[in-house]
Structure 1
Amino acid sequence: MADPRPEHPDDKLADTEQPFVVHLMELRDRILYALYGVGAAMALLAIWPGPSGLIDLIATPIRAHMPPDARLIAVGVFTPFFVPLKVLMMAGLLLALPWVIYQIWAFVAPGLYSHEKRFALPLIIIGSALAYLGIAFVQFFVLDKMFAFIQGVTPASVNATPDIASYVEAILSLYLAFGLAFQVPVVVMLLVRFEMVTVDKLKSFRGYFIVIAFIIAAVVTPPDVISQIALAVPMTLLYELGIWGSIWYARISRAPDADAPASPSSGD
């Protein structure tokens, strides 16, 4: 039986209010789940290896190029407390990164078509793996070469004992810079997938991208040639990887009707 009451003009959003509230509640839940995951990762890392162990880990590259009895110093009064806490938070976020990305995926996935899910999920996996790869590249290669260069040009009359706060800030900025720079294949594949550029255009843009990569490396890395080359060269190689990956990615993410033969009326 139809509702005999006339519809009031102000009630035209009544049917959309509940779904919007449901979306907000879902978003709130996903954010809370992500925070719970980061908190659990921080708790695990606080137990082992602990904040001090994390500091020792990230300080390994510079300690390897300092005198045996030399240590990093803490200038600020509260630095010995806040710096390990900051490192613990960043390490917890990195450890829980797949869980955080999964929560983002779980929130977005219900509104995607099946072929859109096919191209979103590989991007999430590839992007996460590349971020970890970039951070590992910094920790186990770039920092060692960079500090070897810096200590090599340090005058003998200077005792290079950096402050732990400035050191951690510089290291985290390098982690972020390389983690983002290693997303070049993801960006390239998205550009091709959404037909903003073609593979042939990307191939012809190689020379310009090399120049852009070195400019970016000069801006986001410390003023030493080692770290700049260490960022620019992988970006160039990842650009080539993105070109080849975009061909595969465009194929697996194609909509189902894209494979249908064209109708006779569509012309040549």
Structure 2
Amino acid sequence: MGTTSTLTSHVKSIYRPAPKQAQRGQALVEFFVAAIAIIPLFLLIPLIGKYQDISHATTMAGRYAAFDATNRNDVQGGWKPPAQLADEVRRRFFSNTDAAIKTNDTAGNFKANQNLLWVDQQNHPLIANFGKDINLSFGNEKTSAHTSKDFSSASDGAPFITTIDFPSRLQVVPHGIYRANVSVTIANIEPLSGPLNTYKEFEKINLVMNRGTSLVIDPWSASSIAQAEQRFSGHNLLFPAGSLKYIASLVNLNVQAVDLLGGIQGPQLGQLDFWRDVVPEDRLKQ
């Protein structure tokens, strides 16, 4: 019995916890050790978020440039000048978020036109120069102006061109797949001094974001209502009702004879302009 009691006391002495006084400050030391690795990661989160925001804006800018070609291209009467389109991209997607959409508006390299979120830890803009750091190009070869190389092959016009004998005004030539590219050069970040400098490797990252959008431009698209009417009027296969315009005057006389007092107008037979969807002048904002 005495031997058992002695052994039990010996085991308790081995596994007896250390006095509380000896553990003081241990948690604080562990926290500082973990902070050396964790705090720099937390400091990187805002910068990564800014990079992602610029990346999203670059993607949207590429879509804007590509879809602009659906309204302005050589089929519809001429491309929008590349310099004008590039200025629109810079101003509307990379400057201050409340920028008004105005014609011939350009972004300047000053605080009033910069996105105040896109700055580094020293308040330097991540896009230092709009004109140099944001560039627009076209096609897989990234040409600076619109050329035939901006398109890759596609059978976008085959179902129509081969089955209908179009008049000359409808001989629209399908181009294929059109591509617009936007590239943004991000300014390198100046490192901070100190043992917890998180951004040291960013002083030589030389980050460039490239985004592009490809689409098939519809050769049937028209740049105006008048151009759409001009394409279809006089072609009986595409607009069979156009043949009724020759009897419109006779029908109108009969309508007026039947309704002498009601003031009913005759039907606009064979007239495309009657169906124009025109916004009233008092609804247009100057």
> Under TM normalisation by the shorter chain, which class is it?
under 0.3
Over alpha carbons, which structure has the higher Rg? 2
Q: Greater relative contact order: 1 or 2 (C-alpha under 8 angstroms, separation 6 or more)?
A: 1
More helix by share: 1
More strand by share: 2
What TM-score, normalized to structure 2?
A: 0.24
